[in-house]
Amino acid sequence: MACHHDRVAHSSASAGALLHHVRTGRARSRAELVALTGAARNTVSARVDQLIAAGLLEEGGRGWSTGGRPPTLLRFNSAAGCVLAVDLGVTSVDVAVTDLSAQVLATIGHPIDIADGPGPVLAEVDRLAQEVLAEAGLTPADVCAVGVGVPGPVEFSTGRPSHPPIMPGWHDFPIPSAFGRYDGPVFVDNDVNVMALGEMGVAGSVQDVLVVKVGTGIGCGIIVDGDVYRGAQGSAGDIGHIHVPCADGREVVCRCGQVNCLEAIAGGGALLRDARAAGLPVATTREVVERAAQGDGVALELVRHAGRTIGTVLAALVNFFNPHRIVMTGGVARAGVPLLAGIRESVYARSMPLAARALEITVSDAPDLSGRVGAALMAIEGYLDDDSVSEALTRATLAR
């Protein structure tokens, strides 16, 4: 009797699912779609023809023959539309316009202060969006969807921040309403969830991954079987407010009002505070990170100690969640080796051997870009879900 691992699992053969398989590289021809979904050849061919007629798929070239006529290859038409991607931080914002494969067509960044509140900040975002669209030769009418990452907890279903500690004045603000000039849907999520999507890329992943951002705050994007896990209300992964004890017995008040939260002990602001207390002539967290990268002994030990503290929390997550890998990102993660050394020291010392046996802990390859790419992917996935693709095919049919 075959075990359950031997069974072939066929996926949905809806038009949206077929499109997803082609654009993520899982299938390149009608025959491969038939094999992947288990659907009838006629059904797959009819839906592929609809997707081609709607401009979402294209035929291009011939594949290798396996005994009969070489198959006609299919490719996703990433130029069928564009999305706006907004990566909103505490002190800066990046806005990009991408095609439907999350390839950046134009991008721009600008300093902001998130504490100025949603009115001024989102007005600046709107100005930057108009500028970036003009640079790409596009108009608001070309935008299919908008993706926004913000540095605080978000109710994903409504796009409203919920009591964000580092975003005063933003609680319950309807962020999607600021993008009313665009006809497409607007998706808003916590910046770390968005970064996690960016780390997975267009092709996605079937792994379980923790993407940990260490910047002004500390947060964790949770990838389960390749999908972002948000929890019941969208606040999963808010590890920055897990309580950790101070080795010297201190009590440090966090911006959330609690004491000894992880980010109050080991976040970017804490690193700057401790560096100044140690006598380093620094004005920003970036300067502390740069000094550590240059081999400054005091800065190195501060970064390594922050890594050890973060690692104690991650060790608990490793025991609980057993991820394939942990990816570090954010401003403090640019310190690289000393931060990783501290994190690995704690994680491998405190995790159960089985959970840590094959665990990878790395720094992001593109920390500056993952927020924008992730916001774009969030918008693209929402725009090209099953219902939206079905509606697009209906409109294309009626227009003919």
pLDDT 10s digits, 275-332: 999 999 999 999 999 999 889 999 999 999 999 999 999 999 999 999 999 999 988 8
- Report the CATH architecture of 15-76: Orthogonal Bundle (1.10)
Looking at residue 11, what is its pLDDT?
Answer: 58
Does 69 have pLDDT greater than 70? Answer: no
Provide mean pLDDT across the span 355-382. 91
Comparison of pLDDT for 294 and 121, the residue scoring more: 121
* β-pair type (143-150, 186-190): parallel
Residues of the chain with CATH 1.10.10.10: 15-76
Provide mean pLDDT across the span 141-156. 94
Comparison of pLDDT for 78 and 398, the residue scoring more: 78
Looking at residue 214, what is its pLDDT?
Answer: 92
Provide mean pLDDT across the span 347-375. 91
Does 65 have pLDDT greater than 60? Answer: no
Backbone angles phi, psi at 165, to 5 degrees: -60, -35
Percent of all residues in the chain with a pLDDT value above 70, rounded to a whole number = 94
Q: Ranked by mean pLDDT, which of 57-61, 206-210, 313-317 comes out on top?
A: 313-317
- CATH code for the domain defined by 198-365: 3.30.420.40
β partners of residue 74: 59
Does 3 have pLDDT greater than 60? Answer: no
Comparison of pLDDT for 7 and 396, the residue scoring more: 396
Amino acid at 286: R
Q: Which helix (H) or strand (E) holds 170?
A: none
Amino acid at 238: D
Residues of the chain with CATH 3.30.420.40: 82-184+369-399, 198-365
Looking at residue 63, what is its pLDDT?
Answer: 59
Q: Which helix (H) or strand (E) holds 121?
A: helix 118-135
Contact 195, 149 (CB under 8 A): yes
Provide mean pLDDT across the span 6-31. 78
Superfamily of domain 82-184+369-399: ATPase, nucleotide binding domain (3.30.420.40)
SS3 call for 164: coil
Give the dihedral sign, CA 315/320/321/324.
positive
Looking at residue 25, what is its pLDDT?
Answer: 86
pLDDT tens track for 328-337: 998 888 888 8
Looking at residue 226, what is its pLDDT?
Answer: 83
Does 1 have pLDDT greater than 60? Answer: no
pTM, two decimals, is 0.86
Q: Round the average pLDDT of the chain to a whole number and report it.
A: 89
Q: By mean pLDDT, which of 145-159, 235-249, 340-354 is the weakest?
A: 235-249
Round the CA-based radius of gyration of the chain to a whole number and report it: 23
Looking at residue 111, what is its pLDDT?
Answer: 94
Does 203 have pLDDT greater than 80? Answer: no
Residue position matching structure tokens 């790409």: 136
